[in-house]
Amino acid sequence: MSEQQRKIYQSEGDRYEALISREDYQGNIPRVIDEIINVDGLDILDLGAGTGRLTLLLATRAKSIRAFDISAEMLRVCRERLIASGLSNWQVDVADHRQLPVEDHSADLVTSGWSVSYLVVWNQVDGQAELDKWLTEMKRVLRKDGTILLLESLGTGNEEPVRLGHVESTYQWLDANGFQHKWIRTDYKFDSLEEAIELSGFFFGEELGAKVERNQWVILPECTGVWWRTV
């Protein structure tokens, strides 16, 4: 992840939410989750929750949901959205994936969207060891036969999935650790070309913003991988 994106996570919660609220306009994420697991009545942990994309999606059906992220700024937006929802079955806390303030065997489902791969991106020397630590923590917090469900990018601006270089070692680790996998399209749909250029360039960089402008993309293609396993 670029230093610019790190800064976005630390200070640009509202603008980031403006971007991701445009993603998956076709509703493929909730459909694929339902194919994998029935979330009704579950105790759920959402890791790297950001501004609450998955948290809000799942909260209306969960028995309880706890959202964690290392960015207080992202969680500020998540908390505001949860308050506005009128729901009361949630909790939001700053925490690291590998050391959660959660009791042993207290959750049925762990979700994480576009986040677990950063354990490698931010730890280039021993990233896969950090993934091992994370999986150990998942086994601690999940009940018997609990489920882990992850989403990671397979390419922004691509019609077909592309294994991204900076995520490759995470893909390999997931394959080696028994995760099943499929991919879906989670295209962004913007209100105008100007908005598409501005918001895509803001997060993904000027090169993608220029590609959006060249292709006149009000709908920006996005491929997303979904990985899951029981523990």
Calpha distance 66→172 (Å, rounded): 28
pLDDT band at 1 (very low <50, low <70, confident <90, very high): very low
Per-chain mean pLDDT for the chain: 96
What pLDDT, in 10s, does the model give residues 45-60?
A: 999 999 999 999 999 9
State if pTM tops 0.75: yes
Question: Structural domain boundaries of the chain?
Answer: 3-230
Amino acid at 25: Y
Q: What is the Cα 206 distance to its own chain's centre? A: 23
Could you tell me what percent of the chain has a pLDDT over 90?
A: 93
- Output the pLDDT for position 2: 60
The per-residue b/e assignment along 160-189, b for 16 or more CB within 10 angstroms, e otherwise, is: ebeebeebebbbebbeeeebeeebbbbbbe
d(CA 164, CA 159): 14
Question: How confident is residue 4, by pLDDT bands cut at 50, 70 and 90?
Answer: confident
Q: What are phi and psi of 53, to 5 degrees?
A: -55, -55
Asked if residues 112 and 86 have their Cβ atoms less than 8 Å apart, the reply is: no
Query: Tell me: the pLDDT tens digits for 196-225?
Result: 999 999 999 999 999 999 999 999 999 999
Superfamily of domain 3-230: Vaccinia Virus protein VP39 (3.40.50.150)
The number of beta carbons lying within 10 Å of the beta carbon of residue 209 is 18
Task: Report the distance separating Cα 108 and Cα 48, nearest Å.
Answer: 17
The backbone torsions φ and ψ at residue 176, rounded to the nearest 5 degrees and listed phi first, read -75, -20
Task: Return the percentage of the chain with pLDDT > 70, whole number.
Answer: 99
pLDDT tens sequence across 57-81: 999 999 999 999 999 999 999 999 9
